[in-house]
């Protein structure tokens, strides 16, 4: 018999609801649908009604209070056996004398997953309270006194549950206000950071080269903020400040050179003016002597002086012209150097840590991320995984569809990977069609699961080359860092696992 498809079962369910004249309630629909599909009808756990029953139970002795607590916990865990055990135990303590009678059924022992209010349990609550304090600051003396009293009570074996409950209620009430204050402080600091970033661009004489960095800073400083993103903001700000200082220093040097050349030009112009005035005076004097001359012998010395003065004037003009030409060439060279400097700043700003095609980290950015994550792993004694991805049949895409399609496929994979990753994960282009993903606080099995989820997401989101859908797949190897293992060694192990995934048929994830 051919198995019915879901939409056929749904259509048949609606038909039977109408034929049986049943109300189209969720319960009736579920019952008929399961009957047609051959699925056992499992009633939902009545959590809310059971909670109401638990809340209405009186607690006249410590035994009843303990069993009521176990009942509420079992309801929260949706554990029928725990509910039964707690109710039987409560009934035993409801008899006169406050203890179970011999005739009453013996309470079923609570399951191991239901903890009692032991000293260890209270210590866990105390530690949880302590762990929340650094995020709240220490400027409220009254709140600190309240916390100290709560911690002392939680660690007091003789403390009663009612007193602890009252203190916890007061703490949670005050905690809500403190959390709101911290959230408002964070938002205000974030606004100040945005103003600083905008001001950097406004104060720059030529801020075109800053646009890429300020845009990246704005993006990195947008909620939700994490320590990783704040570290990225700090590094980017240092880059911007360093490059801006370098550009400003070089611009001041160029300005000083231009000022010096302008002073030389003015000096030479003044010398030319003086020489020209002297030359004109000499010419007027020579003209007067020529007019007074009565013979050629008297004119010859005057002509000799005129020729000498003219030659000297011409030589001086040539010298000044050469100097001005040299200054012009030097000015042009300085301007060209400034243009080159700004272009280099723009290129370095965009490519310092990120791949220009995919937006992922480049090798330099990967090295910095590796150093940061390995240090964090060693400091926190936590797990760290690295995954190496290689697009399957990438050469075929390039050969058949061109390099533009290949570049678009790389960008598509990077985009999907970033959307599937957690904020604390790092994506880097390792070279060609290979990518590296760093997964902090992730053991090996979870790293393999994360790459498998990414593969499934790629199968749902086709890459479009024009109007044609193309399935992009990748093979991946995942390695978990060993203690004191270098980043390159772990990547090499992931690379070997990726090679095995290729050999096994591609579109697979292998653990190193």
Say whether pLDDT at 208 is over 60: no
**DSSP secondary structure code for residue 293 in this structure:** -
Report pLDDT for 98: 46
pLDDT (tens digit, 9 = 90+) per residue, 256-308? 766 676 667 666 666 666 666 676 676 777 767 777 766 667 677 766 777 77
Say whether pLDDT at 111 is over 60: no
Taking the mean position of all CA atoms in its chain, how far away is CA 143? 34
What does the angle CA 361 – CA 364 – CA 366 come to, to the nearest 5 degrees?
50
What is the DSSP track for 423-448?
TT-EEEEEETTEEEEEEET--HHHHH
What is the percentage of the chain residues whose pLDDT exceeds 90?
13
Compute the average pLDDT of residues 324-341. Answer: 73
Compute the average pLDDT of residues 53-80. Answer: 80
Report pLDDT for 101: 42
Compute the average pLDDT of residues 477-496. Answer: 90
Closest to 19 in 3D by CA, of 36, 43, 39: 36
Query: How distant, in Å, are the alpha carbons of 37, 48, 50, 75, 110 from that of 45?
Result: 22, 9, 9, 9, 19
Residues 6+ apart with CB under 8 A from 461: 412, 416
The answer to which of 23-32, 112-121, 477-486 has the lowest mean pLDDT is: 112-121
Taking the mean position of all CA atoms in its chain, how far away is CA 418? 10
The answer to which of 4-8, 67-71, 94-98, 343-347 has the lowest mean pLDDT is: 94-98
pLDDT (tens digit, 9 = 90+) per residue, 447-460? 999 999 999 999 88
Report pLDDT for 104: 43
Q: Confidence band (pLDDT; 50, 70, 90) for 342?
A: low
C-alpha–C-alpha distance, residues 366 and 491, integer Å: 11
Q: Confidence band (pLDDT; 50, 70, 90) for 110?
A: very low
* More confident position, 111 or 401: 401
What does R_g of the chain's alpha carbons equal in angstroms?
A: 41
The answer to which of 52-61, 210-219, 373-382, 397-406 has the lowest mean pLDDT is: 210-219
C-alpha–C-alpha distance, residues 405 and 398, integer Å: 7
pLDDT (tens digit, 9 = 90+) per residue, 415-436? 999 888 888 899 999 888 899 9
* More confident position, 97 or 424: 424
C-alpha–C-alpha distance, residues 349 and 256, integer Å: 26
Closest to 240 in 3D by CA, of 211, 282, 279: 211
C-alpha–C-alpha distance, residues 78 and 113, integer Å: 12
CA end-to-end span of the chain, whole Å?
45
Report pLDDT for 410: 92
Report pLDDT for 450: 93
* More confident position, 64 or 473: 473
* More confident position, 18 or 234: 18
At 479, is the secondary structure helix, strand, or coil?
A: strand
Mean pLDDT for the chain overall: 76
190-211: buried (b, 16+ CB within 10 Å) or exposed (e) per residue? eeebeeebeebbeebeeeebbe
The whole model's pTM is what?
0.40
Q: Confidence band (pLDDT; 50, 70, 90) for 73?
A: confident
What is the percentage of the chain residues whose pLDDT exceeds 70?
69
């Amino acid at each position: 018999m051919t198995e019915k498809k879901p939409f056929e079962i749904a259509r048949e369910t609606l038909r039977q609801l109408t034929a049986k004249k049943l109300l189209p309630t969720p319960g009736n629909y579920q019952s008929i649908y399961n009957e047609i599909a051959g699925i056992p009808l499992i009633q939902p756990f009545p959590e809310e009604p059971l909670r109401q029953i638990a809340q209405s139970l009186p607690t006249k002795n410590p035994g009843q209070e303990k069993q009521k607590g176990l009942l509420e916990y079992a309801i929260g865990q949706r554990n029928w056996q725990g509910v039964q055990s707690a109710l039987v135990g409560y009934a035993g303590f409801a008899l006169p004398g406050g203890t179970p009678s011999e005739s009453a059924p013996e309470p079923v022992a609570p399951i191991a997953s239901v903890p009692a209010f032991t000293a260890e349990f209270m210590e866990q609550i105390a530690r949880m309270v302590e762990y929340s304090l650094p995020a709240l600051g220490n400027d409220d003396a009254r709140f600190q006194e309240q916390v100290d009293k709560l911690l002392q009570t939680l660690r007091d074996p003789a403390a009663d549950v009612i007193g602890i409950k009252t203190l916890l209620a007061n703490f949670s009430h005050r905690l809500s206000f403190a959390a709101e204050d911290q959230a408002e402080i964070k938002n205000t600091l974030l606004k100040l950071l945005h103003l600083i970033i905008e001001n950097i661009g406004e104060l720059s004489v030529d801020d075109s080269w800053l646009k890429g960095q300020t845009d990246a800073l704005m993006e990195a400083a947008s909620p939700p903020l994490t320590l990783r993103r704040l570290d990225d903001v700090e590094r980017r700000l240092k880059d911007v400040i360093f490059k801006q200082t370098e550009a400003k220093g070089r611009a001041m040097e160029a300005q000083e050179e231009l000022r010096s050349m302008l002073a030389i030009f003015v000096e030479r112009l003044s010398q030319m003016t003086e020489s020209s005035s002297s030359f004109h005076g000499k010419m007027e004097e020579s003209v007067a002597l020529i007019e007074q001359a009565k013979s050629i012998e008297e004119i010859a010395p005057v002509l000799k002086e005129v020729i000498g003065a003219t030659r000297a004037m011409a030589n001086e003009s040539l010298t000044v012209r050469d100097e001005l030409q040299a200054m012009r060439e030097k000015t042009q060279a300085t301007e060209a150097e400034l243009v080159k400097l700004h272009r280099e700043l723009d290129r370095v700003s965009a490519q310092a840590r990120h791949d220009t095609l995919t937006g992922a980290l480049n090798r330099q950015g990967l090295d910095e991320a590796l150093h940061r994550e390995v240090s964090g792993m060693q400091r926190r004694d936590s797990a760290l995984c690295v995954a190496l991805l290689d697009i399957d049949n990438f050469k075929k895409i390039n050969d058949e569809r061109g390099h533009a399609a290949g570049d678009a496929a790389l960008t598509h994979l990077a985009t999907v990977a970033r959307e599937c990753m957690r904020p604390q994960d790092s994506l880097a282009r390792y070279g060609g069609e290979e990518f590296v993903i760093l997964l902090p606080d992730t053991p090996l099995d979870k790293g393999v699961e994360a790459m498998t989820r990414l593969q499934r997401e790629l199968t749902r989101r086709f890459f479009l080359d024009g109007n044609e859908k193309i399935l992009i797949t990748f093979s991946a190897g995942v390695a978990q860092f060993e203690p004191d293992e270098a980043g390159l060694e772990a990547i090499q192990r992931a690379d070997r696992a990726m090679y095995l995934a290729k050999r096994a048929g591609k579109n697979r994830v292998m653990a190193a």
